[in-house]
């Protein structure tokens, strides 16, 4: 692994521990796991932080909100059918979560399906 990239990971992680989670994830994705080059203390912090990010379901919650808003403002209707299907697959996957996010995703998924199968809804498009 490039020594420069390892140094950048350490700098980002030490200086922006609570802030730049997406940059940290992206950098780790590009460089691969750097644990063999970090101190035990820093390696523990890194694993803990990535685990906390994953368990927070922040990205999943964000995509749910975007899909919901797109549906609420009728933006979902103007999307290409393939993209709509991808978003529906995402909702379907999110509905499996054992949390409020799962319940909300399931409800939205079913609402969209019901509305698209409703002739009155389709006639307003």
Q: Determine the 3-state secondary structure of 62 from DSSP.
A: helix
Question: Over pLDDT 70: what percentage of the chain?
Answer: 78
More confident residue, 41 or 97: 97
pLDDT band at 65 (very low <50, low <70, confident <90, very high): very high
How confident is the model over 10-37, as pLDDT tens digits? 666 565 555 577 777 878 888 888 888 8
pLDDT at 45 over 90: no
Are 31 and 6 contacting, i.e. CB atoms less than 8 angstroms apart? Answer: yes
Residue ranges of domains in the chain:
3-56, 58-123
How confident is the model over 79-101, as pLDDT tens digits? 999 999 999 999 999 999 999 99
| Mean pLDDT computed over 38-65 | 87
Alpha helices in 16-57 (DSSP H): 21-31, 40-56
Q: Return all residues near 29 (Cβ < 8 A) that are at least 6 apart.
A: none
Q: Provide DSSP, 83-110.
A: HHHHHHHHHHHHTTSSSHHHHHHHHHHH
| Mean pLDDT computed over 44-68 | 89
User: In Å, what is the CA distance from 27 to each residue of 21, 57, 84, 106?
Assistant: 10, 19, 30, 33
């Amino acid at each position: 692994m490039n020594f420069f990239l390892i140094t950048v990971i350490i700098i980002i992680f030490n200086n922006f521990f609570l802030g730049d989670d997406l940059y940290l994830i992206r950098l780790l994705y590009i460089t691969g796991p750097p644990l063999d080059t970090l101190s035990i203390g820093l390696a523990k912090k890194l694993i803990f932080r990535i685990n906390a990010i994953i368990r927070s379901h922040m990205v999943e919650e964000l995509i749910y909100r975007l899909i919901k808003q797109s549906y609420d403002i009728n933006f979902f209707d103007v999307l290409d059918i393939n993209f709509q299907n991808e978003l529906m697959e995402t909702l379907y996957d999110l509905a499996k979560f054992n949390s409020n996010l799962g319940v909300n995703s399931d409800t939205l998924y079913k609402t969209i399906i019901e509305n698209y199968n409703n002739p009155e809804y389709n006639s307003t498009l």
